[in-house]
Structures are given as structure tokens and as C-alpha cells.
Structure 1
């Protein structure tokens, strides 16, 4: 098993959570996975900002290749492979599409910490930046899968980037996965670089969600209690969305 850990910028447990609240959060975990829409309402009631919906944008193949050319010939080849995979993924049903995208990204990237790849902590790489390096951390895997699924026809409302607390080797570590909701209220499927298979959330007892987000909004992972400062993270997400658009995604 390959250990992938995000930069530990999400502290846990937050100072505001007492032991009883933490225990209640564990009980509510299943409700988090199953009811993202209700969590958005809870966030709004707290007065926390929610991102406005992102307009849909079609994949611009030529723009992707032009952007890849600025990295170099090898990255152009990687981008061509990505575009071919996205085209194949768009031609199949959503469930096999998840496995196709998950497998492609997991095989294309080797896990490395941001300090090794980028010389600093917590860099959020665009799909082409990740392909150019051929390396990335758990956030970069999730980002590449998110944009691959979006551009193969998966609605943004079905996808959530999810920060989780992962139990790895007896330690609790910050980690990121991508969750897919077939419909509102459904148990999501989890795309992760730690495991080769796409599994239902109920089978990933090693993961406990903290908060989630996509191009349309921000959700709390364990109910209505704040889990730190998500807006600090979302500023990176907004920057990442701009980079991806500039690459044609």
C-alpha cells in the first residue's frame, strides 16, 4: 500500500470540539456521506460563505495541448494520453467511468510530498502540472480525477473533494479523496490513491470526513460544527480552478 498524506494544515481535533462532540461526530459520519445537501444548509445557517456555482465549461482539447506544449514534449504526450482516457470515459456509464479515471490517475502519478516536488508545503497542482512532474500528493490525485470526471460528462453536483482523517499505520493523518454521489442522499463511492478499487464509503472505515467542497459549494464533514478555517483552503481551490480553466479544462 502506498502511503499518501496531505500537508497537515487541517488540525484535528479542532479546539472548539469537546470529547462528547467528537464522539457525536463519529456517529454522524454516515449522515455526512449520505446527505451533502443538508450540510450546505447547515453551513449557510452558521453564516459561513458558500461558493457560487461554477459555470459549465466544455473541454478544449487544443487548449489543453497548447498548454501542455509550454511544459515540453513529454507533457504533450501525457496530455494526449489524458485526453484519450477522458474520451473513453465519456463513452461509458458513470460507474465504469469512475474506475477508468481512478486507475489512470493512480498509475500516472507517483506519490511524492509537495516539499519534494515543488520545494514547499501544500501546493495544489493543476492536471497538467501533475502530469508534467509525474508526481503528486493526495490532493493532486483527487484534483486530476475531479477534472477528468467533469470533462468526461459527470455533473459537478455528483462530485466532492473531501478532506478526511485517515487511519494509517496506527496514526491519524490528513488526507484527501474524491467522493462520487450517484444521486442526492446516496452513499458515495470513494476514489482514492491508497486503494486501487473504487469502494462505497461504508467500506472505508479508515476514513472520517472533515469537510468537502467542489466548484459549487463548501460542506461540513461532521454536521454543523466548524472544523477550522475552510476559506483558507478554498482560496487555493479558487486559484486551482483558474489554472485548470487556463489549461482548457
Structure 2
């Protein structure tokens, strides 16, 4: 009897479907309207994965979030959005199924915030990618304020300490509150992140749920 009950319970659990909350359903519906059904499924998968990541410790969370978003396509802003520089919201990034380094970094940042990682542990870092001879953005994770940060990157998918990334030259970094000039691992405080116009525009679209469509389809 016990074995039969265990089998029945396993069957019930296997048929359980993930349920979106009201906000998540609104996100999915908005993405479906703007980008189509495949895009809506990507957002649903993101929400399912985020539910699973809640059970993990912080190091596992950064690894899983990094891996999840690195699956998307890299496309330059001018080819995707028709603009030299455009910072997409996570929903726009998933909707377009493509983005550049800023979009990968932003999506990881907001996902980790949602999972409960403190904003004080995260910085979006604008760097010079020396081997590619171009500007680039990565996400830095500080386990403690004095810690050497770990780097989440779409170019190199392996999370590594900043000191091992000799190919990256940090220029400035920011989070939801502050802006730093990166003269050291911790940087020199240079004001508030609201000084960045692209960041302000991104946050405005995020709050209003405004979704822009790319000029080409990478779905």
C-alpha cells in the first residue's frame, strides 16, 4: 500500500504545472502581444527557472542565471534596434531573443536582485575588452564588500575572479543606486547611477512595461 501511495504521489507531482502569478502573467501576455508566442514561452521558461533558483544558494544562483541568459543570441544594437546604443529590459531581451552585452548583463542583474541577492553585491561594469578592442559590459558579484568580484560575462561563460580576466579593463561601474570609477576592485564613488541617461530610460520602460520591437526578427 505504501509503495502504491508513493507511486500515486509521484504521478500527481509529475503532472503539476507551474502557475504564473498575476504580474508574471501580465509580462507573458505583453510579450506575446508584442513579439509572438515563442517569445511568450521564453518568458514563461524564465519564470519557471527563477522559481527553481529560489531553492539554491547564492553561488548556485549566479551560475544558473549566467547560464540561462547566455543561451540567447548576441546581436549589436545597430543591427537589432537600429540604434547605436540601446539598453533593453529583460522582457525586451527575451522577446527579441537577442541583444548585446549590456542586455545580457542587465537581465542577469535584475534576475539576481529578484532572487534576493543584495544590490550592494552587484555592479554592472563597463569595460574595454582588450582582445576584441571594443567596449563591453559584464556583471560583477561581490560576496562581501571587500571581496574580489566574480565576473558574469556573455563572451566568456565561465564565472571567474576579476583578477583572472586580464582581457578586461574596467572603466566604470554602477548598480541601482551608485556610480563608481573603477580605479580598483571596489572603485571610487562618483555619484548616483541616475546620472546615466540610458539607465534612466531603461528603468522608465521597465516600470511602465513599455516594450519596443527590434527592426529584425531573431526568433
2:106 is the counterpart of 1:106: no
1:113: Cα distance to partner?
Answer: 0.7
- For the pair shown, which has the larger CA radius of gyration, 1 or 2? 2
Assess, with a 3 A threshold, how the Cα gap between structure 1 residues 218 and 186 changes in structure 2: closer, same or farther: same
CA deviations on 1:49-70 (whole Å, 9 max, x unpaired) are xxxxxxxxxx932332233233
Which residue is 1:241 aligned to? 203
Contact 1:75 1:128 in 2 (8 A): no
Residue in 1 that maps onto 2:6:
none
* CA deviation map 1:153-177 (0-9, x unaligned): 21111110000111115x3x21100
Q: Which residue of 2 aligns with 1:200?
A: 161
The residue that corresponds to 2:100 in the other structure is: 137
- Tell me whether 1:81 sits opposite 2:48 in the alignment: no
- In the alignment, structure 1 residue 125 sits paired with structure 2 residue 88: yes
Point out the more displaced range, 135-144 or 85-94. Answer: 85-94
Distance apart, 1:141 and its partner CA:
0.6
Q: Mind listing any 5+ residue stretches in structure 1 that lack a counterpart?
A: 1-58
Instruction: State the TM-score, normalized to the length of structure 1.
Output: 0.68
State the SS of the aligned residue for 1:70.
helix
The structure 2 residue matched to 1:190, chosen from 151, 154, 167, is 151
Q: Determine helix, strand or coil for the equivalent of 2:172.
A: strand
Cα distance in 2 for residues equivalent to 1:219 and 1:104: 28
Q: CA RMSD in A?
A: 2.2
What is the CA-CA distance between 1:225 and the residue it aligns to?
9.9
- Gaps of at least 5 residues in structure 2 are 1-21, 211-219
- The whole-number CA distance in structure 2 between the counterparts of 1:100 and 1:187 is 20
- Residue 134 of structure 1: CA displacement? 1.0
Distance 1:67 1:118 in 2: 19
Compute the displacement of 1:244 (Å).
2.1
Secondary structure (helix, strand or coil) at the match of 2:130 reads strand
* Aligned 8 A contact 1:63 1:247 in 2: no
Is the aligned partner of 1:91 residue 2:52? Answer: no
